[in-house]
Structure 1
Amino acid sequence: MTKTLTFKNEELAAVGNLLGNLSLKNKASRGRTKLIKLITVKNEEYTSDRNDVLEPFIKKDKEGNNVEGDTPNMVVLIEEKQDEANAAIKEINEESAVIEFTEYSEKMKALYDAIVDYPTEFSNQDAVAYDLLMDQLELVFENEKEETE
């Protein structure tokens, strides 16, 4: 059976950051490392797609280069197309990123077991990311448990 986790594109970085901050050992740590790698691939796809979607809305200088904003690596959008650009960004942010991890199932189960009762409190963005991650892991491993009973 194929095992997957599904997040919105905009959630990938928060879940990856949370995982990177957890203190884990052995197989759970290896599961975390595998999951971070899979999330990184999906996040890179998302970033590339987001850049492609934004391209028609970016203001250009006389040479045809992107006009950069005040913040490094940020671009200026064409004012008249701001609403259209925001709608396109919102759409791609909310698209599903499906992470298939069947071959790492044993390591992911160890990760799930290690963090289901994680001893540290989470707050703010980490609490939201933990909830998202646990919802997805529970869908896989709780359903698996029900199927074997």
Structure 2
Amino acid sequence: MKNTIEFKNSELTGLANVLGGFKLKGKASLGRTVLIRKFAKKQEEISDDLVDIQKKYFETDKEGKLRVFEGGEGKLIPKTEFADKKDPNKLGKKATKELDNEVKDLNDEVSIIDFSEYSPRFKALKDALEDYPYELESDSAIVYERIYDQLEQAFNKGEK
């Protein structure tokens, strides 16, 4: 049986950063490390998808890499058909809206993380979070809730 947990793409970086600061040991720490690595792998995929989206609207070089203005601090060069008529160094309003919508959709997509092969480590992480002895506030409390809730749901599915 596959054990999976789900998070929005937009959550992954914050979850990984905050989770890394939790005080855990043993198998729980190993579970956290595996989860952070899985988040990083998903983030790489999302980053590649973002570049693919940008390539629709911005120029690329012969190697297929996005082109930037010289001295423009990484500012991408719009394709002629998407450039603003008054300022060709910017995207037009319609293209900007389309790009923003595509990026929003990408961020709202759900990443499914399979942890079947690491189930004992993730169970230890869940158990450690369940009895986490430290007080959590703001972002840490939110990350705690999101990760614990997903792990609890995943393990409860297996018990039914």
TM bracket, shorter-chain basis: 0.7 to 0.9
Cα RMSD for the two superposed structures: 2.4
The change in CA–CA distance for 1:73 and 1:13 in structure 2 (over 3 A counts) is farther
Structure 1 counterpart SS, 2:23: coil
Shift of 1:128: 2.3
| Correspondence for 2:84 | none
Structure 2 counterpart SS, 1:66: coil
Shift of 1:37: 1.1
> Do 2:16 and 2:36's aligned partners in 1 also have CA atoms closer than 8 Å?
yes
Per-residue CA distance 1:46-66 (angstroms, 9 max, x = gap): 111112112223378xxx822
| Correspondence for 1:89 | 103
| Correspondence for 1:27 | 27
Q: How many residues align?
A: 142
Between the aligned partners of 2:10 and 2:118, the Cα distance in structure 1 is: 24
| Correspondence for 2:56 | 56
The change in CA–CA distance for 1:141 and 1:69 in structure 2 (over 3 A counts) is farther
Between the aligned partners of 1:138 and 1:118, the Cα distance in structure 2 is: 14
Within-5 A mapping of 1:52-131: 52-58=52-58, 65-67=67-69, 75=76, 78-80=91-93, 81-131=95-145
> Do 1:13 and 1:43's aligned partners in 2 also have CA atoms closer than 8 Å?
yes
Identity of aligned residues (%): 37
Q: Which runs of 5+ in 1 are unaligned?
A: none
Shift of 1:119: 2.2
TM-score (norm 2): 0.77
Shift of 1:136: 0.7
Counterpart residue identity of residue 28, structure 1:
A
Per-residue CA distance 1:90-140 (angstroms, 9 max, x = gap): 000011111101010000000000012322233333332222212211101
Between the aligned partners of 1:125 and 1:99, the Cα distance in structure 2 is: 21
| Correspondence for 1:4 | 4
Per-residue CA distance 1:49-90 (angstroms, 9 max, x = gap): 112112223378xxx8224897x6564761331111110000
Q: Which runs of 5+ in 2 are unaligned?
A: 61-65, 78-89
Structure with higher Rg: it is: 2
Counterpart residue identity of residue 17, structure 2:
N
Higher share of residues assigned helix: 1
